[in-house]
Structure 1
Amino acid sequence: MKVKILGCYAATPRTITNPTSQVLEIKNHMFLIDCGEGTQVQLRKHKIKFSRINHIFISHLHGDHFYGLIGLISTFMLLNRVNDLHVYGPKGIKELILLQLRASGSYTGYNLYFHELTAKESETIYEDEKVIVKTIPLQHRIYTNGFLFQEKNQQRKLNIEAVERHNIETCYFQKIKYGGDITLEDGTVVSNAELTFDPEPEKTYAFCSDTVYNENIIPLIEGVDVLYHETTFLDSEEHLAEKTMHTTAKQAATIALKANVKKLLMGHYSTRYASIEHFKTEGQTIFPNILLADDGKEFNF
């Protein structure tokens, strides 16, 4: 599981920082999460293939989280994209994007699907044989969701030595990987436990963008491998966090501690601060295992 940070700062972009956008690679999928202004430039800069992005998840309709979307959709068109593109986001996102396409006399040569979200409870919005994606309802000034990405049960790993010892033909390998026992020609049953190893634990990534301190999300993110949680302000500006419906570093760390997550990835920093290291310092007074997102950083989990 790999996370590439394209942008992780709040509000307006600067020459040295970018608004929120990141790429999650999980089980051969490449998911784009939020699409702030300049996202496609960052994708180019970091040599991420546009053609691999088929699913885009938008947390809410504040500009620093989606103003880059129309540009990316238009560039896909100019590159003669043929793959379907699915966009998951709040109700209204379809109208906003199609209005811009119509006004500019543009159209996509590929299928563009919008999956508009309105539910205030967690729901499954994407699922295939490898990954499931659920919403994490957040509390912000407008309708906002985080996203929980979960690997599905993986196939068991073949114990090649045991398989060869029993002279089991390759045509049975899939059955074995999915947990099946094997009956040999003499009637002997070889248990799956002898023929396989346990799979790697399923990995989970929770993305929680703009939100006030909200303990209601704790049951949804309990025990995740990595929690990305916004940390717009330091403790000295807690009054601003409350006013703007954002979170402080200590508050995000408290959520991580109470949810028993393995790692906390901080981001969405206000640009008022000279150094983001202060976020980690404050957060670690509550939760030790903290990583700092920054534009261009890549994390492997």
Structure 2
Amino acid sequence: MGFSVTVLGSNSALPTSERNPTAQVLEASGRFFLIDCGEGTQMQLRRNRVHFGRINHIFISHLHGDHVFGLPGLISTFGLLGRTKDLHIYAISDLEKLLTPLIDYFNRDLPFKVVYHPFIAERDELIYQDNLLEIKTIPLKHRVPTVGFLFREKCKLRKINKQACDFYDVPVKWLHRIKEGEDFVSENGTVIENMKLTLNPPPSVSYAFCTDTRVHDGLIRAVEGVDMLYHEATFLKDQTELAVRTFHSTAEQAARVANEANVGKLLLGHFSSRYRDLTPFLDEARDIFPNSFLAREGDSFDV
């Protein structure tokens, strides 16, 4: 299963000539999930050649403009392109109250249905699942109700050991049951243990998106062991007091979260517009967590 993240926007409240407000696309086995939708997102989708029609699920972390102002325009564009498939939006309930009047005024004949999936930001919830993937919220600490999102593959089926199955004359009709973990029972009643007939499946992968938050213990527990963590780094450590006051984090703090949670890879983003050169963010993080990277517009990362 392919599992990768493309950065569409990496800046915080104010866009710059080089960086856009927050947005990412997660591709999982040919499906595309949009995470946040700051202003300019649809232009970034164009630049990164993400087909609009493949986006059916949008996840909004919180209702600050740099994470949601691009959504009305994107919905309007979907309508102009003749979209007919339902669009699913996951956010706190206030988003529906805000978006509905805009859609009713500007897109009265919208040819598709916008389906809202409200969640409560103060608790973790399973908000989406299919046969391959599940998505949960992570409560964060910001000035307004805010969540992160944990994308995790479900446990995969075991792999058939063809040589062993041939040796024990396992019929084809049994193979799917064996992949699901069943022991094989032959016609004469002999039981062959599943472990003798299968190989371990490929490991499931996970990605956590956490932005606009102070560091807290619940966050560290929630992202424990994920393969890749996107964590906001709005400021450098010399502005730690400002980060605390504004309910944000520094690059150093993000690296400490990654280190304590034993994650595989750290992506830094949500940079303040006061910084033009982002190299100090990477240096600050790598002093603590070497496998750190900057989330820049257009960059893609395999989870």
Tell me the TM-score normalized by structure 2: 0.94
Structure 1 stretch 109-118 or stretch 51-60: which is displaced more?
A: 109-118
Change (3 A) 1:105 1:298: closer
Structure 1 stretch 161-170 or stretch 32-41: which is displaced more?
A: 161-170
Structure 1 CA distance for aligned equivalents of residues 109 and 179 of structure 2: 45
Query: Does residue 298 of structure 1 match 2:300?
Result: yes
The residue number in structure 2 matching 1:140 is 142
Structure 1 stretch 71-80 or stretch 156-165: which is displaced more?
A: 156-165
Please tell me the residue identity of whatever aligns with 1:22.
Q
Number of aligned residue pairs: 301
Please tell me the residue identity of whatever aligns with 1:120.
E
Tell me if structure 1 keeps the 8 A contact 2:135–2:149: yes
Give how far 1:270 is off: 1.2
Runs of 4+ in 1 over 4 A off after TM superposition: none
Quick one: which of 233, 241, 244 aligns to 2:243? 241
Pairs within 5 Å for 1:27-66: 27-66=29-68
Give how far 1:143 is off: 1.0
Tell me if structure 2 keeps the 8 A contact 1:157–1:177: yes
The residue number in structure 1 matching 2:154 is 152
Structure 2 CA distance for aligned equivalents of residues 69 and 252 of structure 1: 28
The residue number in structure 2 matching 1:228 is 230
Pairs within 5 Å for 1:63-142: 63-142=65-144
Structure 2 CA distance for aligned equivalents of residues 51 and 168 of structure 1: 43
The residue number in structure 2 matching 1:194 is 196
Structure 2 CA distance for aligned equivalents of residues 237 and 188 of structure 1: 68
Report the secondary structure of 1:238's partner residue: helix
The residue number in structure 2 matching 1:181 is 183
Please tell me the residue identity of whatever aligns with 2:238.
S
Deviations 1:206-259 (A, max 9, x none): 110101222221111111111110000011222221222211001111111222
Tell me if structure 2 keeps the 8 A contact 1:27–1:131: no
The residue number in structure 2 matching 1:262 is 264
Structure 2 CA distance for aligned equivalents of residues 166 and 47 of structure 1: 49
Quick one: which of 14, 20, 23 aligns to 2:22? 20
Structure 1 CA distance for aligned equivalents of residues 104 and 173 of structure 2: 53
Aligned residues with identical type, % of pairs: 47
Tell me if structure 2 keeps the 8 A contact 1:5–1:23: yes
Give how far 1:111 is off: 2.2
Structure 2 CA distance for aligned equivalents of residues 248 and 18 of structure 1: 19
Structure 2 CA distance for aligned equivalents of residues 60 and 221 of structure 1: 19
Give how far 1:27 is off: 4.2
Tell me if structure 2 keeps the 8 A contact 1:27–1:151: no
Change (3 A) 1:216 1:189: closer
Structure 2 CA distance for aligned equivalents of residues 151 and 160 of structure 1: 25
Structure 1 CA distance for aligned equivalents of residues 109 and 299 of structure 2: 34
Give how far 1:271 is off: 2.1
Once superposed, what is the RMSD of the aligned Cα atoms?
1.6
The residue number in structure 2 matching 1:172 is 174
Tell me if structure 1 keeps the 8 A contact 2:76–2:107: no
Deviations 1:14-37 (A, max 9, x none): 332111100112244321100111
Query: Does residue 206 of structure 1 match 2:208?
Result: yes
Report the secondary structure of 2:263's partner residue: coil
Report the secondary structure of 2:43's partner residue: helix
Structure 1 CA distance for aligned equivalents of residues 44 and 63 of structure 2: 20
Please tell me the residue identity of whatever aligns with 2:210.
C
Please tell me the residue identity of whatever aligns with 2:220.
I
Deviations 1:247-283 (A, max 9, x none): 1001111111222222111111112223212111111
Give how far 1:12 is off: 2.0
Structure 2 CA distance for aligned equivalents of residues 105 and 85 of structure 1: 14
The residue number in structure 2 matching 1:285 is 287
Change (3 A) 1:196 1:210: same
Quick one: which of 1, 9, 12 aligns to 1:10? 12
Give how far 1:137 is off: 0.8
Unaligned runs of at least 5 residues, structure 2: none
Deviations 1:127-148 (A, max 9, x none): 2222111111111111111111
